[in-house]
Structure formats: structure tokens, C-alpha cells
Amino acid sequence: MKFLQTIIPLLCLTALPALATENYYQPRQYGSDSLYSPLGNFLSYTFDTLQLPDNFDRNDFGSRARQVFDHLGNPGRAIRNEGGYRRFINRQIIPIYPEYHNESWAALPNYFLHLLGGGMVYRKDLEWFRENGYPYASASAATLAMTAELLQEILEKKSTTDDDEVADVYIFRPIGILLFHNDSFAKFFMNHFDPAIWPSLQAINLSDGNMTNTGIHYIYRPPITRFGRSRLFIYTGINNLLGLSHHLGSGHSLSWGVGKSVQKVDLSRKRLAILDTSFGMFYDRNKSLLASLVIHDSGGQRFRINWYPFNTSLPGKFGYFLTQNAQHEFTAGMVYQLPLGIGFSFR
């Protein structure tokens, strides 16, 4: 009942009159937005959890897909497998049962990644489809969103509970789509949180054939927190940072944050994450990321650099990255035009 009392008012926002919104999609010729496309958003969201190679990977894709569809086909049984509805609500939705408080942290990514982050990904794609004259813009954006959600659940299946995909696919991602589909809510969220989507420059590692430098993060700089030329900076995803963003003029901002990055999931403790202290610096122009440096990033990365050259005379749109893992192995690569690049590892 408490869950319904929380969710129903949010869903009622979808009945408000439509308003003109500030666009989530902005066609830009510089930074991360210059490489944006719905396909790029799709890949970034799908491969996000591959940042944690100890827990999530592409192995046994077929058998894991069967598990996910089995759980989605019989959600009641999947919930019972994990202790029943009380534990499902406490673990996946809201912590209301003290005896299961140690599992409640799992609800946080449901709200911040699947609902809010996934909702923004849907909204940005929706606006792109509309601007480019697609006749079924809403259906196209929703299909991409839910397909990415399903694929992500399959890639995660090695290290998730049976009821995880039930919460993500049937509750949080659809609510995020409904909320951000509504112009009134999208405008409200944009005006009050000033969000942005910053994906990493994902690539295929030619050294081992695996995906590398994956990840997508969601940025908030609420205008109400402004003081002088600075305001609060919130960086959410598998790495979560809190700091300040400083306006430099002409749309440029330098942001920094300190927080905790997820290194891996401890399966013996029901998805309790092992964290490390992390620091990040980010340079953007009009919310399009130009360069970033993250120390102690997720998945055991000692550092991660993403750089989008600007003021270059070279044709096309480029992005470069360099990472070093806990074994002191470097990985470098580039993206050109397409939302998927190439990389290689070396010592």
C-alpha cells in the first residue's frame, strides 16, 4: 500500500496537459553529444554493467537468456525463489521490513539507473526520433529502451537474484518511460535537476574480443543549489560521486566529485557491493562532455580517461580513451563516427 501511495501520484503526472519542454536531445558538433545516436544510447545502456567483469559478462548468453525469460514468464515463482513478496518489496522497492535491511541497498540502482537514468535515455531517443521525422517515434524509443533493458538483464544474470529482472523490466523501466514520455514531467525534471547523460567511449578490445571502456552515467546539477558560479554536482551510475560544478563562461564547466565506485558484487552476501573511494574531474560544454578523468573507477580501473578532441581540423567526430586496471594493464582506443570503437591492451 505504501508503494502504491508513492507511485500513483507520480503516474498521475502523465495526465497533465502537455507543455513545451527543454530538449534532452541537443544536436551538437562537439563532445559526447557529437557521437550521440539512439543506437549509441542503446549500446551504452545495454553494456553498462560490463564495467564489472568479475560479475557480468557475455558468456553463456543463451542459457542466461532462458533464465531471464523463465523468471519474467513466471514472476511469482521468481519472487518466491528469493524469499517471497516481503523480501522482494524490501530488496527491490522500498525498505519497510527491518529484518531484511541488509538487502535494501539493491533498490537504489532501480530508482537512479533504471527509472531515472533509463527514463532520460528514453526521452533523449524519443526527441531524436521526433526531430528526424520518424512516424512511430514513441514506439521506436520504447522498443529500444525495453530491448536494452532485457539484454542488460541477461548480461547481469550471472550475479543477480531471480527477482531482479522482475523489478527492472516490469516496474522501474516502464515507470521511467511513462514519466519521461510526459512533457510536463520531462520539463519539470529538466528545469529542477538540469540532467545530462555521459556515456563512456565503448569499444571492442582487439586483444581479447571483449567489450572495454563501457559505462553510462547520469549527471545532475540542480539550479537551486547555485551559489556564485558554482552548484552541486551529482554523478550517478556504477560509480557515484558528489562534488561541485564551476561555470567557466561560454557554456563551459569544470566539475569534480568524490564518492564510491562499485568494484564487484559479493555473491555470498546477496549482492552486497564491494566499494572503493573514487575521484573524478569532468570538463564539458553545454552539458556535452569534452574530457574526463576518474581515479579508482568501477570494476578495478585504477584510472579512466575519456577525451573528445575539439577545435580540430580533422574531418569527422572522434573520441579517445585510456584506462589502467588493477593488474597495471593499459587499454587504449578510439571511436570515430560510430557509437562503437576499437581498442587494445598493453603493458
Q: Which band of pLDDT confidence, cut at 50, 70 and 90, is reported for residue 104?
A: confident
pTM value is 0.90
Mean per-residue pLDDT, 270-297: 91
Q: Which band of pLDDT confidence, cut at 50, 70 and 90, is reported for residue 51?
A: very high
Domain ranges of the chain: 2-12+34-191, 196-346
- Alpha carbon distance 173, 121 (integer Å): 11
Mean per-residue pLDDT, 93-115: 84
Q: Which band of pLDDT confidence, cut at 50, 70 and 90, is reported for residue 6?
A: very low
Highest mean pLDDT among 91-95, 200-204, 309-313: 200-204
Name the grid cell of 169. Answer: 523490466
- Alpha carbon distance 239, 259 (integer Å): 8
- Residue 2 has what pLDDT? 40
Per 3-state DSSP, what percentage of the chain is helix, strand, and coil (rounded to 5)?
45, 30, 25
pLDDT in tens, 189-201: 999 999 999 999 9
Query: Quick one: CA torsion of 343, 213, 128, 29, rounded to 10 degrees?
Result: -60
- Alpha carbon distance 200, 188 (integer Å): 27
Mean per-residue pLDDT, 327-335: 96
Question: Could you count the other beta carbons within 10 Å of the beta carbon of residue 38?
Answer: 22
- Residue 59 has what pLDDT? 87
Share of the chain above pLDDT 90, in %: 77
Of 141-145, 146-150, 261-265, where does mean pLDDT reach its minimum?
A: 261-265
Mean per-residue pLDDT, 47-74: 93
